[in-house]
Each structure stands twice: as structure tokens, then as C-alpha cells.
Chain A
Amino acid sequence: MVRIDKKWELRLYVAGKTPKSVTALSNLKKYCEEHLKGQYRIEIIDLLEKPQLAEGDQILAIPTLVRKVPEPIRKIIGDLSNEEKVLVGLNIRPA
């Protein structure tokens, strides 16, 4: 059920420590630990510190989770409160 043959590279864009960002990060960590243990890497980018990075990944909404690897790039916006949607969105669990 869980594919473990790939390395997961995730990037979470936030803007400061807003409640939404904090929620999103804790949710993400929870899901990854559950489903991708040991195969993932989460990079957190604070756009308040590095605004120039927003353009590269076409970031509009905050928080945005970007799946860089595996391809293709997928984006999930919001506080990631819906586990089902996140897992489908990241293609961890087939829809």
C-alpha cells in the first residue's frame, strides 16, 4: 500500500510563524512520520526571510506544500488539516 521505493522531497512555504503555518507543519510532520518514515525530507522556507524564492515555485497562497520529488510537482495549499486530501494530493495514497 505504501510505496517506499522513492525518496520524498517536500517543501513547505510559510510566512512567519502564523497559526496556519504552525498547524500545517505539525500536520505534515505527522503524516510523513506515519506514511513515509525515513524516506522524506521537509524543507521549510519562510518567505518573510527569502521573498525571492516565492517566484520560483509560483507561490501565491500561504501555507503551500510543494512536492518537489517525485515528479511531477504537486502543490497543496492550506493548513493540511484534511489528511485524506493531503495523502491523495501528494500521491502517497491513490485517489
Chain B
Amino acid sequence: MSKSQKQKEPVQYGTLPKALTGITGLDEITGGGLPYGRPSLICGEAGSGKTLMSIEFIVRGAVQYNEAGVFVAFEEKSDELAMNVASLGFDLKKLQAEKKIRIDHVHIDRSEIEETGEYDLEGLFIRLGYAIDSIGAKRVVLDTLENLFSGLNNQAVLRTELRRLFSWLKQKGVTAIITGERGEGSLTRQGLEEYVSDCVILLDNRVVNQITTRRLRVIKYRGSVHGTNEYPFLIDEDGISVLPVTSLKMANKVSTERISTGVPALDDMLGGKGLYRGGSVLVSGTAGTGKTSLAASFANEVCNRKEKCVYFAMEESPNQIIRNIRSIGIDLQKHVDSGLLYFNASRPNLYGLEMHLVAMHKCIKKYRPSVVVIDPITNFINIGSVSEVKNMLVRMIDFLQEEQISVMFTALSLNTIINEQTDEGVSSLVDAWILVRDIEFNGERNRGLYVMKSRGMKHSNQVREFIITGKGLQLVDVYLGPEGILTGSAREQQMLLEQTGEAIRSNAVTRKDREIVRKRKVLEAKIASLHTEFESVEEELNKVYLEEELKKEILRKNREEVIRIRKGETEENVQKPKTSRKK
């Protein structure tokens, strides 16, 4: 898989040619598929997916790689088989009509067969040979050989013939899959097939804690390196997907681009720009602290930027989330309608951790979102141990980082030991950790939000009060008063109190102002009265003065009269000025 090996390949001589199976992930594990022109064994218990895997090999070979295939069914009839795989979108009838595949139902009924004397299975070989030649098949599946053993008695003949069959298949040059049921203590009932096959794949359906996980392991692969681990796989409407455990190379690209969280105040707390693209953020908090609201507003923001978002809802159904989030003024429905937002709802205990990982992988590969929300991761703890959950999330984060996808996890923290461990377990993995917690004070519960860590950016160390309103999420500074940190109604009260104080103070000021005005008025009134007093005094004084003047005038006139009389002037001379004066 690594680069050095890839470069070496041309130098190697006579490498094993391989036939691609077309099954998602299996070709990666086997390094290019099954050994070409050789028989491989797929073994496993009932219901482990042997038939499906082999029919997918045939169908994908016919459809994708133009290699016709023969499916020899010992168990199911052709029609049954066609019906069973129709749900996976495989149209066997059409492929049969096009001569791309051929289904041969081999029916063995013990009740109508009597054995006497020596025989061999040449008839089967001839049938198979004819089927292969009739459509020029390159791929052959025999499902399941065990039926031969239950239908016929002579085990010695069967074992010999089985060996012959394998070498005959090799000789024919077809890439063959033989399925076998798992025996006790050995891979197959006969303990033979695994030795004569060139590649052995074991399918397993394991139940742990009442949860089933399908796993696949390549036990043997002659002449080739292969992945040796157990790989979980998934059977769904698209067939089988195997998840190769990504090698944790830790050589992912990193982005310096920042994306908003959808809450401007939170972006401010995260260095003013929000989160790094491709980063991971954990929002943890106790029940009802608004984790989902934060997650939804993040998703909403992403969709508003016309980017895709996949929302893995592990607790609530999509409709529930949409309804609930509408109450805080965020309309997710329109994003769902426009195809930007995709909800993937599944209960954590629907299947095992590995299966969740496979399913998420698949979903993300399909929708190629720029942001993924997993809400919440907490319940994973029900289906795996702390270390398993951590392991799964490491791989998830690793995968998302590789794809440059940002991820927001929410986690419920109860005050139990296990969940605190989860918190710790995950919190060391994520790039940013936002904690939402209850602040209980003064007989009420309020939400406080703070950034526990945020790698590679300056972030606020402040506790903010986190308010969920009908218009979205808001962060307000908590009130730091003389009585300590106040939140909620206590904060409102304190603010009211301050407003009252303000009002009273301003009222006092205006009263003083009025007092001054009044004082001035009084003063002015006093000044006015003094003025009038002064005027009357002045008048009094003036009166004396006028009288004095008048007296003087009269005296002067009298004196003039006396003078005139003394001079003896005539009446006429005097009369003239007199009349003029009268006028």
C-alpha cells in the first residue's frame, strides 16, 4: 500500500495477477483482488454473507470488468437467487439474458439417489465445463460445496473429487470462489478446501453485547501480501462494503482557513474567526445545555455558505431536530430541501461501532460534505468500551482530516465516571473543545459556555452566558459584580438595579437643578424688590431735590420780579414776556 512498495512493483518479476472483485474495500485489503485464475475459499457460518459476497464478485465482474461468470448454486434455485439479490440492485435475469452470467442450480436430493459401486463427479465437471465454455466465463462460484457431502455418501470419493475439482479449476484458468460452511475447530467442515485454495477469506458474524458486527479476515493468500486484520463490513442496499482500517500515518494536510461556527460571539471567542477547516470540535455538556442547538447552528451556517453538511443524528430523528431547531429561529428544512443538508439518523445500538464507522464512511464518501456533525457520540459507549469508542473516533477524525472535512461532535457529560472518561478520551483527540455547563445560582439554572481548548489559535478564557433565544444563539458576558458572577435573572436584576440607581441619581440631579433655578428666581425676585425700593428711595430723594429746584426757581423768579419792579419798567414791557410765558 505504501509508496515504496508501489515503486518497487515494476521491478518485481512474475507477480501474481489478480482479479478485481469490485467489492468496496476488499480489493484494498487484498491488494488488488483475488488471485487470478485460481480458486479462493470464502468460509463462514450461516448468514455471514458468503453467497452475497460471491454473487457480488460474479455480478461486478460481469458489469464492471467485462468478465463473464458462472454461478453454480447448490442451495438456492436460480429464481430464488435472482430475487434475493434483486434488493441489491443486481438484475440477474438481464445479465443471464445477455450471456454475461450463467446460473446453474445443482440439485442434490438424497432421497432420490441411490449409490451403488464406484463413481466419480465427472458429471459435475462436465456441467461446469459446459457452463464455462458456453459464455466464455472467467469467473466461477461454487456455492456451497458442503451440499455435495450431505447429498452423497462416499466421502472418500468426494474428497478426491474435490481435490480434482480445485486443480481442474486452476487448469481451466478461471478465477473461482468456493464457499464453505465453517466447521468446528476448522475453517470448513471437510477441513480440505482451505488447503487447496490459494486464498482463504473468513467471514464472521459476531455478537458482542447483543450487537452484531460482520467481520472479514484474509487468512491466507498465496504469493501476495494482504491485510491481516479483521475488517468490519457492511451489507446494505449497495452490496458489501469493507472498511480497511486506515493506516494512521499522521501525514494529513492541514488548512489555515477558518470557518464560522454560526454563533458570531463564539467565533469571537475562538480568536475572532471560528474554527479551522478540517478541524474537529467537541461540544460537551450536561443534558439540556444546548449542544444540539450549537450543532444545528453550525450546520445551518455551513449550508448558508452553500456547502454540504452531513448530520449524523444518534438520538433524535431528523424531523424532531428540524422542529426543535425551528424554535430557535433556524430553518434546517430549507437546507434539507435544497440538498445541502443530509440527515443520517441511526440509533447507536443499531449495530456495532465498526459498522457505524463503515456506515459513516460510506455516507461521507457518497455525499462529500465539507462539514460533518455527530450528535451525540455519547451513546456509543453503550456498544463498546471507552477505548473502543476512542479508537473508532480516532479513525473517524483521521479519515475526516484526510478528506479535509470539519467535524463537530457533541457529547453528553453526566457526572458518572464512565462519561467523564469519554470526555477525556475524546477531548485529547479534538482540536477544539467547547464546554457548555449549567450554572446553578439563585434558584435557577443558566447556561455557561467556555472554550476549554482550541489548538493553534488565541481563544477567550472567559465564561460567557449562553442564551438560547427565538432568534438564535447568543452569548453575553456574565455579570461580574460586587456579589460575584451573576447570570440569568440575577444578572437581569442586577442590571435593573443599576438602572434604578441611575434613574434615582439622575432624578436627584434634576431636583438640584430645579432648586438652583428656584434659588435664582428667589434671588432675582429679591433683586427686583431691592430695585424698586431703591427707586422709591431715589424718588424720595429726587422729590426733595425737585422741591429744592422748584423753590430755587420760584425764588429766582421772585427776585427777577423784584428787580424788574425796582427798575420801574412799564406794564407793557413786562406784559410781553408774560404772555409769551403763558403760551
Task: Name A residues whose Cβ lies closer than 8 Å to a Cβ of B.
Answer: 13, 15, 18, 20, 23-24, 47-48, 51-52, 54-55, 58-64, 72-82, 85-86, 88-89
17 A-B pairs (CB sep. < 8 Å): A15-B122, A20-B120, A24-B117, A52-B130, A55-B104, A61-B119, A61-B122, A74-B114, A77-B116, A78-B115, A78-B116, A78-B119, A79-B116, A79-B118, A79-B119, A82-B117, A89-B116
Tell me whether B112 and A60 are in contact (CB under 8 A).
Answer: no
Residue of B nearest to A18 (CB): B122
Point out the residues of chain A lying under 8 angstroms from B106, CB to CB: 58, 60
Task: Name B residues whose Cβ lies closer than 8 Å to a Cβ of A.
Answer: 104, 106-108, 112-124, 126-127, 129-130, 148, 152
A77 to B109, CA, bound (A): 12
A46 to B33, CA, bound (A): 38
Among the listed A24, A48, A54, A76, which residue makes an inter-chain contact with B113, where contact means beta carbons less than 8 Å apart? A76
Among the listed B112, B121, B148, which residue makes an inter-chain contact with A74, where contact means beta carbons less than 8 Å apart? B112
Tell me whether A59 and B123 are in contact (CB under 8 A).
Answer: yes
A29 to B416, CA, bound (A): 85
Tell me whether B114 and A89 are in contact (CB under 8 A).
Answer: yes
A66 to B120, CA, bound (A): 16
Among the listed B118, B123, B148, which residue makes an inter-chain contact with A78, where contact means beta carbons less than 8 Å apart? B118
Among the listed B107, B113, B123, B152, which residue makes an inter-chain contact with A13, where contact means beta carbons less than 8 Å apart? B123
Point out the residues of chain A lying under 8 angstroms from B119, CB to CB: 20, 61-64, 77-79
Point out the residues of chain A lying under 8 angstroms from B124, CB to CB: 59-61
Tell me whether A80 and B127 are in contact (CB under 8 A).
Answer: no
A82 to B123, CA, bound (A): 21
Point out the residues of chain A lying under 8 angstroms from B127, CB to CB: 51, 54-55, 59-60
Tell me whether A76 and B123 are in contact (CB under 8 A).
Answer: no
Among the listed A51, A60, A85, which residue makes an inter-chain contact with B116, where contact means beta carbons less than 8 Å apart? A85
The CB with the most chain B CB atoms within 10 A, among A15, A62, A73, is that of A62
Point out the residues of chain A lying under 8 angstroms from B121, CB to CB: 60-62
A70 to B115, CA, bound (A): 20
Among the listed A24, A48, A77, which residue makes an inter-chain contact with B114, where contact means beta carbons less than 8 Å apart? A77
Point out the residues of chain B lying under 8 angstroms from A48, CB to CB: 126
Point out the residues of chain A lying under 8 angstroms from B117, CB to CB: 20, 23-24, 78-82
Residue of B nearest to A19 (CB): B118
Among the listed B114, B122, B148, which residue makes an inter-chain contact with A75, where contact means beta carbons less than 8 Å apart? B114
